[in-house]
Amino acid sequence: MMTSQKADFPADSTADSPANSKTDSTNYPLLNRQLAALLDTRDWLTNSAQLCAFLFQQVPALNWAGLYLQREEALLCLGPFQGKPACHPIPFSQGVCGAAARERQTQRVDDVNALASHIACDADSRSELVVPIVHHDTLWGVLDLDSPEPGRFDADDQAGIEALVDTFMTATDLPPLLD
């Protein structure tokens, strides 16, 4: 008989729980420990789905959390996500995700409506944070977080989410996705 373990996430401890609103500081060190405990397999698909669900539930004020994977040259394909249905595919030449993939640098945008190249998958999204996932000098994909709040993401959020992506990469066997 197969058993599974459920990660234990504190619910109401003010010292040990992530913030419930952006006016508080999100406890990224705690989230990192929780994510490390949650990723109890090396399987890339399982860990990708867990990462997206975990972020969507634990990071305040998100309306979308997901991965776009580089399965074709200069093109991102939809991967596991949480939120409304998403745009697919995304060329490297378009949008915040495309810029993160093309430049291999995190993109933090306070007002997506101010960007001419923004791809509006959800009209409710106002700010965005996209972290590239680079494995063995090859772009594997990007983690995309959207929020309905303008200016939702700051430098602390960027550093915290980048650390969570590092934890995901360390815990996961990322296969080559390009043929």
Q: How many domains does the chain have?
A: 1
Q: How far apart are CA 97 and CA 118, in angstroms?
A: 9
Among the listed residues 83, 133, 143, the one whose alpha carbon sits nearest the alpha carbon of residue 104: 133
Q: Per residue in 135-169, pLDDT tens?
A: 999 999 999 999 999 999 999 999 999 999 999 99
| Sequence-ordered list of residues with C-beta below 8 angstroms from that of 134, at least 6 positions apart, any chain | 104, 140
Would you say 142 and 130 are in contact if contact means Cβ atoms under 8 Å apart?
Answer: yes
In a domain, 6, yes or no: no
pTM of the model: 0.88
Residues in the chain: 179
CATH of the domain at 95: 3.30.450.40
Q: Per residue in 41-71, pLDDT tens?
A: 999 999 999 999 999 999 999 999 999 999 9
Range of the domain at 152: 28-171
